[in-house]
Structure 1
Amino acid sequence: MAKHPVPTVVRVIRFFLRPVLMLVTKRDWQGMDNLPDGGFVLAPNHISHLDPFLISHFMLDNGIAPQFLAKDTLVSAKGFGWILRSAEQIPVYRSTTGAAESLRAAATAVEEGRVVTIYPEGTITRDPAAWPMSGRTGAVRVALMTGRPLVPLMQWGPQEILWPYAKRVRLFPRRTIHIRVGKPIDLSDLVDQELTEKVLHTATDRLMDSLTAMMSQVRGELPSTPRIDVHTLSRPKTNYQRRES
């Protein structure tokens, strides 16, 4: 049973897109028992422009109406923006005031029993090997504001179809989309504390550590370099160009 009614436009998109995804991908989905009842924050790593489609595929097949924080420029765009608005996606505004309003809207949705997906990195990873970067604090802030679970979702495989920031799509041979849903991040020691930057970064580090650990299990290796700081990142063009070629 869906945790929230699926908007009509999402059901129409799913009708056309799901058969395509079933054809061009294999699915290795594990950890669905860790999905809580009621509203919660779903926090996935971000490795491809295809992520929203593949994560939505996973969510809909598990009875969850997908609702993301989306850039305001996308939500306000002609044509495509109407689709996002009709799909009840939550716009994220870049100004400090606008960002705060976006998180309040996300918190309200979670309190209403919805599942809101927030990429903690805020952007597709710039790591040359596609490991998670450090995180921004939006996902944990909404979880702590509402007292609802913060659930990590690790995905690996979308980058084999469309590498980060690349333009060439590789649909065949079929790629396996690995998804691991982890247990909700334990924030019990932080719930009653003031939401200071220290508290938020402590919680965010736990989230990113969980995502990295799950990815390590799937990949059978550990990161060989320190985690990229999402606040000071610089895009390593040569690495991505070499992978795309």
Structure 2
Amino acid sequence: MTVGAPASPEKSRPSIFWPLAAIVIPLVGLLARIELRGSENLPRRGAFVLAPNHHSEIDPLIVAIATWRAGRAPRFLAKESLFRIPVVGWVLKASGMVPVARSRGAAAQALAQAKELASSERGVIVYPEGTLTRDPGLWPMRGKSGAIRLALAGDIPLIPLAQWGTQAVMPRYGKLSLLPLRKPITVLIGEPLDVSDLRGRTDQAAIQEGTERLMAAITALLEELRGEKAPPERWDPTQHGQAETGKL
């Protein structure tokens, strides 16, 4: 966050995120020392789609804390069925999480979600890989279309994010590692992706092009954090006999 910048409306107004942050941030702070870079790239107001890489099951918690520290409320896409569970559904609705209905078409659902985000001036966090990366070196793998569809449907800023270090706290499909305490994790928020030439398009070619640009931007940020180059070819689970859901 820029020094001296006024607090965003989401952090200045009381909300369910205040007590959650008061409980979660100190607890996570025992396990990890989070360094946040590029917070000025997250809009202070208005809708946005934040697209992170994903290589540990603890990633959403770290990204949520980073988003809150950058001045915005962390909201994720959540299965529509979860909204019907007592207590859980109330929390999801109260925190403004975005429901995903499996029965609706991708294009129609993206348009409805984008309209809701734009009208409420809320952001949403979407993992473009859809699951933990299958890449052996933990580099971003082939992306899916959810993030770019949302961004194009609502003319919403699409912002790449890379984080590195969560694998030391909880290895991919592994157990939580408590010691040593305060393991370093770095989160880098990139500049909004330029997809102006794809605005207004919903054809498959535009969706594929936008998705590839997004994955390339996330990979470049991760290369910066890791100080090394990613493999020249992005990992595709279908080419390696791997399922895209469930444990490896």
Q: Name the TM-score class by shorter chain.
A: 0.7 to 0.9
Q: What is the CA–CA distance in structure 1 between the aligned matches of 2:86 and 2:232, rounded to whole Å?
A: 41
Deviation (angstroms), 1:99: 7.7
User: Which residue is 2:43 aligned to?
Assistant: 36
- Go from structure 1 to structure 2 and tell me whether the alpha carbon gap of 1:41 and 1:79 turns closer, same or farther (over 3 Å shift): same
Q: What is the CA–CA distance in structure 2 between the aligned matches of 1:107 and 1:122, rounded to whole Å?
A: 22
Specify every segment of 5 or more residues in structure 2 that has no aligned partner in the other structure, as ranges.
1-6
Q: 1:77-226 maps to which residues of 2 (within 5 A)?
A: 77-97=85-105, 100-101=108-109, 104-166=112-174, 168-173=175-180, 174-192=182-200, 194-224=201-231, 226=233
RMSD in angstroms over aligned alpha carbons?
Answer: 2.7
Q: 1:224-243 maps to which residues of 2 (within 5 A)?
A: 224=231, 226-229=233-236, 234-235=242-243
Q: Is the partner of 2:159 in helix, strand or coil?
A: strand
Match of residue 67, structure 1, among 56, 71, 75: 75
Count of residue correspondences: 237
Between the aligned residues of both structures, percent identity stands at: 37
User: Which residue is 1:4 aligned to?
Assistant: 10
CA contact (8 A) 2:55 2:138 kept: yes
- Go from structure 1 to structure 2 and tell me whether the alpha carbon gap of 1:60 and 1:95 turns closer, same or farther (over 3 Å shift): same
CA contact (8 A) 2:110 2:149 kept: no
Q: What is the CA–CA distance in structure 2 between the aligned matches of 1:101 and 1:25, rounded to whole Å?
A: 36
Q: What is the CA–CA distance in structure 1 between the aligned matches of 2:106 and 2:206, rounded to whole Å?
A: 22
Q: Is the partner of 1:189 in helix, strand or coil?
A: helix
Q: Is the partner of 2:105 in helix, strand or coil?
A: helix
TM-score using structure 2 length: 0.84
Q: What is the CA–CA distance in structure 1 between the aligned matches of 2:162 and 2:128, rounded to whole Å?
A: 12
User: Which residue is 1:243 aligned to?
Assistant: none
- Go from structure 1 to structure 2 and tell me whether the alpha carbon gap of 1:109 and 1:54 turns closer, same or farther (over 3 Å shift): same
* Cα deviations by residue, 1:66-86 (Å, 9 ceiling, x for unpaired): 111123344444543433233
* Cα deviations by residue, 1:137-196 (Å, 9 ceiling, x for unpaired): 111111111112111011111122112222x1012222211111111111121124x210
Specify every segment of 5 or more residues in structure 1 that has no aligned partner in the other structure, as ranges.
241-245
After the TM superposition, which of the residue ranges 195-204 and 13-22 deviates more from structure 2?
13-22
Q: What is the CA–CA distance in structure 1 between the aligned matches of 2:137 and 2:198, rounded to whole Å?
A: 32
